[in-house]
Copies of this chain bind each other. A is one copy, B any other.
Amino acid sequence: MTSYKDKKVITIGVVHELTGLSERQIRYYEERGLVFPDRSKKGTRKYSFNDVELLMDIANKREEGVQTYEIRQDMKKEEKKRQVREEMLRGQLNAHFNMRK
């Protein structure tokens, strides 16, 4: 379920190289609740490949002039949708198995 894409192992310097974003920008997007890196014991940020992809999406939105606040709202909506879909699926599965009982 958790693959390499989700493992938080990339330092901010490498994320900078991969995305072209400045470290300042990357930290700021975290401040705005758009990315959530892990922290090593000593406090350095660790990102996953998923985070890198997300940051590239954010970079594109920013270029279009979308504000971080709006990006955050959109991300919340997406999250909501995903939850609803999951609940529906769960409900159907339950109904199915209840019928077979």
Q: Would you call A10 an interface residue if the criterion is a C-beta within 8 Å of the partner chain's C-beta atoms?
A: yes
A 1-45 to B, binary, CB cutoff 8 A, 1 in contact else 0: 000110101110110011000000000000000000000100000
Say whether A46 faces chain B, with CB atoms less than 8 Å apart: yes
Distance in Å: Cβ of A94 to nearest Cβ of chain B: 35
**Which of B4, B9, B18, B46 interacts with A5 by CB under 8 Å?**
B4
With a cutoff of 8 Å between Cβ atoms, the chain B residues found around residue A4 in the complex are 4-5, 49
Instruction: Please tell me if the beta carbons of A14 and B9 are within 8 angstroms of each other in the complex.
Output: yes
In the bound complex, CA of A39 to CA of B10 (Å): 15
A residues near B, CB below 8 A?
4-5, 7, 9-11, 13-14, 17-18, 40, 46, 49
